[in-house]
Amino acid sequence: MIWMQQKKNYLSMILTIAALVSIWALVDYLTSGRPPILSGYYKLNIILLCINIILAVSLNLINGFTGQFSIGHAGFMAVGAYLSAVFTQKIMIVETIAAVTGLDPTGDVARTAGLLIAVFIGAMAAAVVGVVIGMPTLRLRGDYLAIATLGMGEIIRGLVLNIEYVGGAAGMSGITQLSSWTTVFILTIISVVVIKNFINSTHGRACISIRENEIAAETMGINTTKYKVLAFSIGAFFAGLAGALHAHYFYTIQPGTFNFLKSFDILVMVVLGGMGSLTGSIIAAILLTFLSAALQDLAALRMVIYALLLILIMIFRPQGLMGNKELSFATFGSLFGKKSSTGGGEQRDGSQSN
């Protein structure tokens, strides 16, 4: 049956791949000429957009699909950013690889290999922090996770602020720009596909069942603590990955780069896009990255506009742009074939176990 479904989705998949390749080629063409057709400012925002997509999609796994409430995603970003930067700037991973393999340390192969290793280590560290924070707090019901993640973000910020090895308040600057449009784009696709594949499997459904009804999930044999921690640490992993890519594109990282406001930005993307919709998160990341770029000169106003936006969503479209629906080429196809099913309202219930 899945094979049949997969054959049906075959066309959709080919179209998706074609679209992705076109996007890659187009951006590459527009940004790599000498001088490039699009200025560095555009490229910077496109890279930021990809990083935001990774952040929004991974937070959605925790908040939207598993129904937990994490508000410290930037803390995981910080872990990934700092640790990966330590590996490339202090431990000199690229040079080490070059020395061991005889590759040119300024060549693309050694640089990309070094980046990937540093990114992976940063992401793993964030995932470990996720497990450490998640294990004690996710057992408890309610808002403990929100408080713990908020606290975690501040603790991590306080830590890096006081560690001179990573630059203290000044942060780390002069980080080699190892991230490129191609690596960022490919890692963004990988992140989305991994999370999508996880969600569309029995393990992802186990997470969703926790959101839907925790008591029923637990009595139906789902180890709810395990799956909450798993979703939380997968989300943390990709936030760490995003942080590492960020550090290696924007040259500088400071403790303040990953503050509560950054976490709030990501949360707004998830809520705007729809809790439980990956495509919603992607659309919201695109909209908000460009909105934020447009408001660059009104930095003070930006947070006001974000807060207003959040309030407006809550009033007029609490389920977000996409609710828990996904958009794909297959959806477009079926729009003409048959009516789409009705969706909408959320139902949460109390904790009485009748």
Partner 1 sequence: MTVLKVTNLTKTFGGLKAVSDVNIEINQGELVGLIGPNGAGKTTIFNLLTGVYEPTVGEVVFLGKNTRNLKPYEVNHLGMARTFQNIRLFNDLTVLDNVKIAYHSHAKHGVVSSILRLPSFVKGEEEMIHKAIDFLKIFKLENKKDEIAKNLPYGEQRRLEIARALAAQPKLLLLDEPAAGMNPNETKELMEMIRWVREKFNLTILLIEHDMSLVMGVCERIYVLDYGQLIAHGKPEEIKNNPKVIEAYLGEEVAHA
Q: State the residues that interact with partner 1 by CB under 8 A.
A: 1-3, 194, 197-198, 201-206, 208-209, 212-213, 215-224, 230, 324, 341-343, 346-347, 349, 352-354
CA distance 60 to 324: 11
Q: Which is nearer to partner 1, 152 or 206 (CB)?
A: 206
Q: Which is nearer to partner 1, 7 or 34 (CB)?
A: 7
- The minimum distance between CB 244 and partner 1, in angstroms, equals 20
Q: Which is nearer to partner 1, 203 or 317 (CB)?
A: 203
Q: Tell me if 60 sits within 8 A of 273, measured CB to CB.
A: yes
Provide φ and ψ at 113, rounded to 5°: -60, -45
Handedness of CA 234, 23, 328, 2 (dihedral sign): negative
- The minimum distance between CB 230 and partner 1, in angstroms, equals 7
Residue 81 burial by Cβ neighbours in a 10 Å radius (0-12, 13-18, 19+): buried
CA distance 3 to 218: 31
CA distance 85 to 115: 9
CA distance 223 to 4: 31
- The minimum distance between CB 64 and partner 1, in angstroms, equals 12
- The minimum distance between CB 15 and partner 1, in angstroms, equals 19
Q: Which is nearer to partner 1, 252 or 328 (CB)?
A: 328
Q: Which is nearer to partner 1, 173 or 223 (CB)?
A: 223
- The minimum distance between CB 3 and partner 1, in angstroms, equals 7
Transcribe 36-91 into DSSP letters. Answer: -SS-HHHHHHHHHHHHHHHHHHHHHIIIIIS------HHHHHHHHHHHHHIIIIIS
- The minimum distance between CB 140 and partner 1, in angstroms, equals 14
- The minimum distance between CB 55 and partner 1, in angstroms, equals 19
Residues in CB range of 5: below 8 A, 6 or more apart? none
Which residue in 95, 71, 61 sits closest to 103, CA to CA? 95
Q: Which is nearer to partner 1, 106 or 201 (CB)?
A: 201
- CB neighbours of residue 161 within 10 Å: 16
- The minimum distance between CB 52 and partner 1, in angstroms, equals 22
Q: Which is nearer to partner 1, 34 or 338 (CB)?
A: 338
Both structure tokens of 11: 């066309």
Q: Which is nearer to partner 1, 2 or 300 (CB)?
A: 2
CA distances from 134 to 75, 148, 195, 330 (A): 13, 9, 19, 36
